[in-house]
A = this chain, B = another copy of it.
């Protein structure tokens, strides 16, 4: 078994201190404000980021302690293979979210549309690049919920611990 050690490079601050009742996706949290505090030794790396309207955050699902290969997603009632979901209970507890960049001040990045727990450990920031990341036409399998349903949906405790 090969292990790759990742280093936490910052902390994501959000209004969500508990998993219950948290938006399940950025699109369910359009106005939720968060602050990404990049540790000062990495500040040089965010130069030019302010030209992008959206960024990917890669982070550690720090409250997910176990792995389950079959899970029932928030937006479904049928158990699904974990790689066909965004559940935190995946083999590596890594999450990605696309958020809107609001403002950068030194090593503090203000964002909107954040759907992660307060104090989530940050692993990476990447620019959302329209030419690379927008898929013109795609098919989303079991995930047939409308945007309205996703926006209304809130999490519960099923993926904790």
Contacts and interface: CB of A to CB of B under 8 A. Distances in A.
A50 B138 CA distance: 12
B143 A4 contact: no
Contacts of A131: 25, 27, 140, 143, 145-147, 150
Contacts of A140: 51-53, 127-131
A133 interface: yes
B139 A51 contact: yes
Contacts of A70: 44-45, 47
A58 interface: yes
A85 interface: yes
A114 to B, nearest CB: 13
Given A131-B147, A135-B128, A48 B80 contact: yes
Interface in A15-71: 25-27, 42, 44-54, 56, 58, 60, 69-70
A83 B46 contact: yes
Interface of A: 1-9, 25-27, 42, 44-54, 56, 58, 60, 69-70, 80-86, 90-92, 94, 96, 98, 121, 123-135, 137-143, 145-147, 150
5 closest A-B pairs by CB: A51-B141, A47-B81, A48-B84, A53-B139, A44-B69
